[in-house]
Amino acid sequence: MSATTPRVAVVGGGIAGTFASLVLRNRGLNPLLIDQGKKAVGGRLRGADRSILGVDAGAQFFRASDPRLGHVLQMLEGAGLLKRWEGKFGLLGSRGGGFLPSSIVGSAASSPRNMGRQGGEEEMLAGEETFHATDCGDFCGFVSHHRPDSIPTYVASSNNSDLCPNICRMAGIESVMDARVMKAETVDGGGWTLEAENGSINYDLLRNEVFDALVLTTHDPSLASKTVFSIAQAEAQAKAVSSTPSDSVADTVQARLGNLAKDLQSLRDNSRQPLFTWSGRFSSSCMPFDAASVPGSHTVQFLARESSKPDRNCSTDGEVWTAMSTSAFANEIIKRHGKTRKASEEASNMLSEEVATLLASTTGEAKETPVDASAVRWASAFTSKTLALKEDSIILHPWRLAIGGEFIREMDAYETPFEAAALSGLEAGDRVAALFQER
């Protein structure tokens, strides 16, 4: 690209940042995708790097009920980056209830509220006033929104961890790894500078570059909060030294910036939901299902057989299974042991016991102890609250700043956090690109 092509920093290399960069690149801009990961971009999709068995320890599947995202996923399928996951999906009872295929569950699963929890209790978990992706009875609407004829269920080729890096290679998107951005500041005359954490390999690279625009798509909204707050402070300082009369419009803008910064920080402090992803190997390969939501278990909410996913290089020695814990279970473990190795070890042992019980109750065979079992801890797998806006992203035109993430739109706008994050990234990229085309 030419030296005059607008340079846009995209901070956060998960699906929102990757899709924002894809749009910017396709619209003729020059994005730099910045991520704190050590090996590759991907955010919460990078679970395989942390799993002993190298399986999908992050996002389990991709769907798009919104046609805007559906077209993108179809394009990625056509490019060979996504494959359709077609298998025996349904609900799994935790107390001998067996497996119910999604075709039989049908309309009974139209609302995750209809899927009772352990013991068939009716009451909701504390704070569950809105639909959540986790602990709702049906993990990310896996069964209730299973419509294979109209909305395919996708996984990435080889491994879900590969999706974002493969998109970057396909589109020629430049990326920088091992760079945790601590501060973003505006510069005189327009533009942005970034400051990475001290000791970062790319500290000097980022410090010495001025970007024409900034897109913040980190899952943790604290950087967005600090950035918006710095803009509000700059506006207040400019007003203090100005000799012009008080401007009610400027006062309103300053107040709204301050409120936005506070709301973003509140999300960071109060809405994070942890999760453990478990994986282990069983010798038995006779299973009547491929993936299931487990609405009655306090410990496990989703279970999948890895070899049922296309293009997975799984050993013929038994079957590897992946389980997603409930957030309630993860909170209990972390409360006892903190964010320590002991927490992951206890989670692995308890999840191994629960998964073994679930599979044995389904097959009628003796309970088997899995081997090569481990649990990966996600401190902030989901968000329990959002800003509840009517748009998928935030754009602050005067500063050429966009903010994206699953925490922007109202909670029940989309079926999965993946879809919310992806659409937010697509819109953020489109809105920033429009700023330069309006000039």
What pLDDT, in 10s, does the model give residues 84-126?
A: 999 999 999 866 568 899 888 754 444 444 444 444 333 333 3
For residue 238, the model assigns a pLDDT of: 78
For residue 202, the model assigns a pLDDT of: 81
Percent of the chain with pLDDT over 70: 88
Of 415, 405, 436, nearest in space to 11 by CA: 405
34 - beta bridge partners?
11, 176
The count of residues in the chain is: 439
For residue 158, the model assigns a pLDDT of: 87
Report the C-alpha gap between 382 and 432 in whole angstroms.
26
The set of residues, in sequence order, having a beta carbon less than 8 Å from that of 262 and lying 6+ positions away, is 225
Report the C-alpha gap between 267 and 345 in whole angstroms.
29
Percent of the chain with pLDDT over 90: 65
For residue 147, the model assigns a pLDDT of: 86
Q: Could you give the angle at which helices 327-337 and 341-363 cross, rounded to 10 degrees?
A: 140
- Does pLDDT of 434 surpass 60? yes
Q: What is the mean pLDDT of the chain?
A: 88
pLDDT band for 266, please (50, 70, 90 cuts): very high
Phi, psi of 182 (to 5 degrees): -100, -25
Query: Cβ of 131: how many Cβ atoms within 10 Å?
Result: 13
pLDDT band for 245, please (50, 70, 90 cuts): low
For residue 95, the model assigns a pLDDT of: 61
Report the C-alpha gap between 157 and 313 in whole angstroms.
10
Query: Cβ of 37: how many Cβ atoms within 10 Å?
Result: 18
The set of residues, in sequence order, having a beta carbon less than 8 Å from that of 24 and lying 6+ positions away, is 8, 10, 30, 31, 215, 429, 432, 433
Averaged over 220-231, what is the pLDDT? 96
Tokens 């709204």, residue located = 256
Report the C-alpha gap between 44 and 142 in whole angstroms.
18
Query: Cβ of 418: how many Cβ atoms within 10 Å?
Result: 25
Summarize pLDDT for 385-423 with one digit per residue, the tens.
Answer: 999 999 999 999 999 999 999 999 998 899 899 999 999
Of 380, 381, 357, 361, nearest in space to 369 by CA: 357
